[in-house]
Every structure is written in C-alpha cells, then in structure tokens.
Amino acid sequence: MIYYQPLQQQTNEAFAFGTSLLGMILVFGFLKSMVSSLQETEGEQSPQLLPQLKKTSKIVTVTCPICGREIEIPEYGRTTRSDALKRHIDLEHRSEGKDVARFQPQVLIEGGEMVPLKYQDIVGFLRDPLPEYSLLTWLPAVEVEGEKKIDLVMKQLKAGVEGIQDSYQFRIFLTTMAKFHDYSIGNLILIMLQKPDATRVAGFSTWKDLYRWVKKGEKGIAILAPCMPPKKKILEPSETETAQDEEETEIRPIYFKVVYVFDVSQTEGKPLPEFEVPPLTGQANEELLGQVLHLAESQGLEVSFESKTDQDPDIKGYYTGKTIWVRPEESRAQQLKTLLHEVAHYYSEGVFRIPRSDAETIAESVAFTIGAHYGFDTGARSFPYVAVWSKDKKVLETNLAAIRKVSEKIFDGLEQIIKKPVGVD
C-alpha cells in the first residue's frame, strides 16, 4: 500500500530540512572562523581553548642557562623575565642537586674581546661572574658597539688597582664592597672609580623590568662581563696535532664585554624602598651587636665580656682558639667594633686558614665592610699592609679575594640569623 502525504506537509518537511541544513552550515562556518581567529592571536587565550596550537613569537621567552630551554612568560608585565628564570631554576634544577650557583646569568653572553696582553696581569681581578642579585643583572647593560672600549676600561681598572694602596682609596673600595659584595673585585674597583656613591646598580633593561627608567642624559657605569669564548673552528685531521701542541704552551685568552649598569639614583619610576642603604654612622647598632653575638655562638665560639685587670688597657679584645674576649669597660660602639674584628679573625684564621701575617689587616678590612653594610662605621682608616700587597698584584688579588670571601661568609651567616629569630631552632 502506498501512502501519500498531503502537499502542505511535504512542503513543511522540506522547509524544515533546508533550515536545519542551513543552520549546520552557519554553525560550521562560525566554528571555522573562530579557530582561524584563535590561531592568529598572540597566544594569550588560545592555550586555554586549543592547547595544541603553537604560540606565536610575540610571547616573551627567556633561555635557561642550565638546560637551554626557552621559558615562556605569558604574564609578562606582572612577572619579569628575571623572576621567571629564577623560578624555573629553583623548581627544575635545585632539586637535581646541581650547583646552580655557577650557572650565573652572564654565561648567556657570547662574543666579547680578548684582554690585551699588557693587562693580563690584572685579569684575575675579573674572573668572578656578575652577581645574581635575584638575576637583576641578567639583562645586562647596553653593549658597546663599533668603538673598542675594552682598552679604556682595562686602563682605568689598572690605575684603580695600583691606586688602592692609598688608605683613603682602600676605604672607599671597602665601602663599595659593603654595598656590592657579590661583584668581582675588578668590577668593584670600576664602580668605585666611576660612581663611589652608588647604592644599587642594574642594567638598562633590568630597570625597565622593575618599572624604573634611566633618566635622560645619565652616563652608565662601565663594567666588564666575562664572556663565552668564540666557538673554535673545526680543524682538519692534518691540523689537529699542531693545534694540540699549541694548546699545551698557549695561555687560554680571557674574553670580556664592556657593558653599562646604572645606579638607582640615575633612574626614576616605581620606588624601591627595600634597596635603601643605611647612612654610615659611628653609633652602636644594638641589633647588629646581638646578631653578631648569635653568629659567634652558632660557630661554637665563647664570647666573654669579663673584666681583666691584668690586660694591657690598649688591648680592646682578642681571639684565640674558640674564645673571643671583649673589654667590658669600653663604650658600646667600641665593643661592637672589637667584636666584628675578632669574629672576622675567627673566620680568617680558624675557617679559611689565612696566615697570621695577612689575617690582621684582612680581619680589620672585613670588620669595616660588615659594619658599613649595616650603617656602622668601625673607624678603620689605616691599613698598613695594603701598600705591601700592592707591590705584588698576585698577593693583592689573593688578599682582596680573601676579604671578599670572609665578608661573604659572615654576610650569609647574619642573613640566616635575621631570617630566623634568636631562640628559634
């Protein structure tokens, strides 16, 4: 039996089918248009809807110096490149047990110029990498292009090294170290010579990351960044034997790049109150005194303020073995000066085994550096051994490095005490 639908019903069904088909075409076209639009965006929303889409090159990235991976920063502006790289290193590499401290930001810098032969004797003052400072110097400086300036900067450094035998210059150097104790000795001297009143330095791009901008007309502080040496050419088999013979006798050249950093006083923008440096005074800092006492105790040292009438009145204190004695009759400021000096003696002789002949001046220098960092002037003005050191640049380099090393050890210890209140185990 054949069933015939009324004409009106057939018309209605055909119209409904056509409408449905048209709707499907429109929906499909809309979806296709949306997908194309998402693929053309900057990648800010597409990862949520289409995670398989490749982000465009407009996404800000930073390369990890340890694993070589490009770290994307989707929230750039709220998260700086420095913060993103530091977070990646903390999460991905510290758990691996690697010594991540040696992967300093400057390893990303390539090229540079070889130090001229006449300045090879002071290259050792620049061997240390640029400081991490929360990776604030990772985006270094404005690189010098076109004109060679490494000769000019090295000449300036050489003059600074030779002039450090002056007690006043040495005092300024230690004050600079108190503010920038992570920098190499050579770069400390360069900062001291160009801007002795500097309190916090970073590169041009880094200040932008911190929402500060270098003021118009400001002159940068030229320092030297260690660089990766140029890639060696692949030698032909016939050249290999000759090259090996040359490597045995040739001193490996050191490459540096002149870069500029700027002090916070040369910038304007968002305030950075945490970077404030206390003014240098001769007033006793009771909080610092308590922290240094706690540091000494944490090292197993016994600090005595017992009155000793049999001691020469000119002796303000001493360090011997595991004991530090401070004369109790002296003013509080003098007691703090003595305590800093004797604790520095403990680290110089007891920890790093520095010879007694140099340990006295090193301890005095370290005490001044630590005090100046916290705004306390120990009054150290005469360093008689410095003139002797300066006659031999190797000895000067070694002892300045010792001052820096001992200071850094005490800074680290005091920082841990500050983070952990006294009495908390």
Q: Does residue 373 lie within any of the structural domains?
A: yes
Q: How far apart are CA 411 and CA 153, in angstroms?
A: 30
DSSP letter for 139, please: S
The answer to whether the beta carbons of residues 104 and 129 sit under 8 Å apart is yes
- Would 191 be classed as within a structural domain? yes
How many angstroms from the chain centroid is the CA of residue 165?
A: 28
- The reply to whether 127 and 271 lie within a common domain is yes
222 and 335 assigned to the same domain: no
CA separation for the pair 246, 425 (Å, rounded) = 57
Q: Could you list the residue range(s) of the whole structural domain that residue 299 is in?
A: 286-419
Amino acid identity at 146: G
H helix intervals, 184-322: 185-194, 204-209, 237-249, 286-298
Per-residue pLDDT, 317:
93
* Tens of pLDDT, residues 192-248: 999 999 988 888 877 887 788 999 999 999 988 877 555 554 444 444 444 444 443
335, 374: one domain: yes
Q: Are residues 341 and 224 in the same domain?
A: no
Residue 405 CA to residue 72 CA, distance in Å, equals: 36
Query: What pLDDT band is residue 339 in, cutting at 50, 70 and 90?
Result: very high
Residue 366 has pLDDT above 90, yes or no: yes
Residues in the chain: 425
CB 284 within 8 A of CB 372: no
For residue 54, pLDDT over 70 is answered with no
**166 and 53 housed in the same domain:** no
Same-domain check for residues 262 and 125: yes
Indicate the pLDDT class of residue 327, thresholds 50, 70 and 90: very high
Is 67 domain-assigned? yes
Which pLDDT score is estimated for 80? 64
CB 190 within 8 A of CB 62: no
User: Where would I find the beta strands (DSSP E) of 24-112?
Assistant: 61-63, 70-72
- In this prediction, residue 176 carries a pLDDT of 92
* Total structural domains within the chain: 3
Same domain, 95 and 132: no
Which range, of 109-123, 158-172, 286-300, 403-417, averages the lowest pLDDT? Answer: 109-123
Pairwise CA distance, residues 400 & 153, whole Å: 20
Lowest average pLDDT, out of 172-176, 271-275, 389-393, goes to 271-275
Q: Do 110 and 218 fall within a single domain?
A: yes
Mean pLDDT of the chain: 75
Listed residues 73, 103, 133: the one ending a domain: 103
Q: Which residue has the higher pLDDT, 261 or 137?
A: 261
Q: Give the side-chain half-sphere CA count within 13 A for 126.
A: 28
What are the Cα distances from residue 370, in Å, to 55, 228, 260, 277, 403?
49, 33, 27, 13, 11
Rounded to an integer, what distance in angstroms lies between the CA atom of residue 150 and that of residue 224? 8
Give the model's pLDDT for residue 405: 92
Give the end of a domain, one of 76, 103, 130. Answer: 103
Instruction: Check residues 268 and 272 and name the one with the higher pLDDT.
Output: 268
Asked whether residue 424 is domain-assigned, the answer is no
366 C-beta neighbours (distance < 10 Å), count: 31
Confidence bin at 388 (pLDDT 50/70/90): confident
The pLDDT of residue 399 is above 80 = yes
How many Cα atoms sit within 13 Å of 68 on the Cβ side?
0
Let me know whether 80 and 124 are in one domain: no
Q: Which of 74, 145, 140 is nearest to 104 (CA)?
A: 140
pLDDT of residue 256: 84
Q: Is residue 32 part of a domain?
A: no
Structure confidence at residue 106 (pLDDT): 40
State percent of the chain over pLDDT 90.
31
* DSSP strand pairing (113-114 vs 302-304): unpaired
Model confidence at 17, in pLDDT bands (50, 70, 90)? low
Place of tokens 């700027």: 262
Residue 165 reports pLDDT greater than 70:
yes
* Highest averaged pLDDT of the listed ranges 229-233, 383-387, 411-415: 411-415
Asked if pLDDT for residue 386 goes beyond 90, the answer is: no
Mean pLDDT for 40-45 is 38
In a domain, 18, yes or no: no
20 domain residue, yes or no: no
- pLDDT, tens only, 77-101: 666 666 676 677 777 766 555 444 4
Structure token pair of residue 148: 């060679």
Assign 263 a pLDDT band (cuts: 50, 70, 90).
very high
Same domain assignment for residues 156 and 212: yes
Residue 391 phi, psi dihedral angles, 5° rounding:
-70, -25
Same domain, residue pair 261 and 341? no
Residue 343 located in a structural domain: yes
Q: Which of 65-74, 91-100, 115-124, 291-300 has the lowest mean pLDDT?
A: 91-100
State mean pLDDT over 243-266: 66
* pLDDT tens track for 128-162: 777 644 334 433 444 444 446 788 899 999 999 98
- H-type alpha helices, 284-392: 286-298, 332-345, 356-373, 384-390
From 103, 130, 149, the end of a domain falls on 103
Mean pLDDT of 301-313: 91
How far CA 425 is from CA of 110, 126, 288, 290, in Å, comes to 45, 39, 20, 17
pLDDT at 46 over 50: no
User: Do 260 and 362 belong to one domain?
Assistant: no
**Is residue 222 within a helix (H) or strand (E), and if so which, with residue range?**
strand 221-226
- Measured from the Cβ of residue 5, the count of other Cβ atoms closer than 10 Å reads 10
Contact predicate 82/134, CB 8 Å: yes
Higher model confidence: residue 412 or residue 75? 412
